[in-house]
């Protein structure tokens, strides 16, 4: 039981593990195709399923090819939280598997477009900004997408983009698609 007799916000079976995963942990380097290794020219790119992040992945893949490096695709996930009642989650709910299913078509597309590019995929539990900052320790460049904020798109960065630009261990590209001229 949680303090004050309230039930926990997230059922125990969905609760985050007590230990924090970091980029140095073997869990972070879950690679689908090859053994883990740090590549001096790795381009790390965040992917969240949005069209903007798909474009950022394409740009990052081209950059990785140009630099002779590899591409590290990173998708972060978190269990849903609530400030009120417990969120009912369906049986068999597996956000890590859902995140992997989101990433799989992107991996296939990038491998088809750039067959010689070494592509690594990482599905990591945690806050997206924190996960990408940790991942930046393994790369020479971090690429994140900017989704924009309507009229203020040129002024403001998204929270993840701003966190990465402020805390990353390598240079950061905040990729923003160009809008066609009217």
Name the strands in the sheet holding 71-77, side by side, starting at the edge strand that comes first in the sequence.
119-125, 71-77, 43-46, 141-145, 172-175
pLDDT tens profile 62-86: 999 999 999 999 999 887 676 777 7
Looking at the predicted structure, is the pLDDT value of residue 11 above 70? no
Looking at the predicted structure, is the pLDDT value of residue 178 above 90? no
What domain count does the chain have? 1
Q: Which domain holds residue 163?
A: 40-79+94-182
- What's the rounded Cα separation, in Å, for the pair 166 and 181? 31
> Does 20 fall in a domain?
no
> Does 55 fall in a domain?
yes
pLDDT tens profile 25-36: 444 444 333 334
User: Does residue 148 come out as left (phi exceeding 0), alpha (psi in the -120 to 50 range) or beta?
Assistant: left
- What's the rounded Cα separation, in Å, for the pair 99 and 154? 30
User: What is the per-residue pLDDT for 39?
Assistant: 67
Q: What is the CATH number of the domain that holds 66?
A: 3.40.50.620
> Does 178 fall in a domain?
yes
> Does 103 fall in a domain?
yes
> Does 158 fall in a domain?
yes
Report residue 140's pLDDT band, with 50, 70 and 90 as the boundaries: very high
């Amino acid at each position: 039981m949680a303090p004050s007799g309230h039930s926990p916000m997230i059922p125990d079976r969905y609760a985050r593990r007590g230990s924090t995963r970091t980029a140095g942990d073997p869990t972070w380097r879950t690679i689908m195709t090859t053994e883990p290794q740090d590549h001096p020219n790795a381009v790390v790119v965040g992917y969240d399923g949005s069209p903007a992040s798909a474009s950022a992945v394409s740009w990052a893949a081209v950059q990785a090819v140009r630099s002779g490096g590899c591409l590290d695709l990173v998708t972060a996930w978190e269990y849903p939280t609530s400030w009120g009642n417990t969120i009912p989650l369906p049986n068999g709910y597996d956000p890590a598997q859902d995140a992997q299913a989101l990433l799989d078509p992107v991996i296939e597309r990038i491998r088809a477009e750039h067959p010689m590019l070494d592509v690594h995929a990482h599905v990591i539990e945690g806050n997206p900004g924190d996960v990408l900052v940790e991942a930046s320790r393994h790369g020479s460049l971090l690429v994140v997408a900017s989704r924009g904020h309507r009229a203020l798109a040129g002024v403001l960065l998204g929270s993840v983009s701003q966190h990465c630009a402020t805390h990353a261990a390598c240079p950061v590209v905040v990729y923003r698609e160009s809008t066609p001229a009217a």
